Amino acid sequence: MTALVIGQMMIHSRDWMEEYFSSIPQVVAAHDGTFKVRGGNPQLMEGDNPVPDAAFIIEFPDRKKAEDFWNSKEFQTLAALRRSGSTLNAIIVDALG
């Protein structure tokens, strides 16, 4: 079953962004993932949480591929870089059908 990794990011500094965003597409693709949303121009529709600066949705063929991506050395290296200037809330969900 297809799995989606969905994230909302608050950006606190931009020092890390060029390296991260130039590298992340290859890491996602290496795990058979595809960005469905990247940046996304978030707009609040309901709720009290702050609107994130950016949002993303990455589609993977299945949950194992998504988890392997998330736990990979390549991604975790980039995640450490990203954490130097942002905070992220991310979840994994099973897609319909």
Q: Is 71 helix (H, G, I), strand (E, B) or coil?
A: helix
Angstrom distance (rounded) from CA 66 to CA 78: 16
The tens place of each residue's pLDDT in the chain, 97 residues long, gives 999 999 999 999 999 999 999 999 999 999 999 999 999 899 999 999 999 999 999 999 999 999 999 999 999 999 999 999 999 999 999 999 7
**Domain 3-94, CATH class in plain words:** alpha beta
Q: Where are the domains of the chain?
A: 3-94
Q: Which residues pair with 3 in a beta bridge?
A: 60, 94
First vs last C-alpha separation in the chain: 7
pTM of the model: 0.94
Instruction: Give me the long-range contacts of 43-51 (CB less than 8 A, separation at least 24).
Output: 50/10
Q: Would you call 1 exposed, middle or buried from its count of C-beta atoms within 10 A (0-12, 13-18, 19+)?
A: exposed
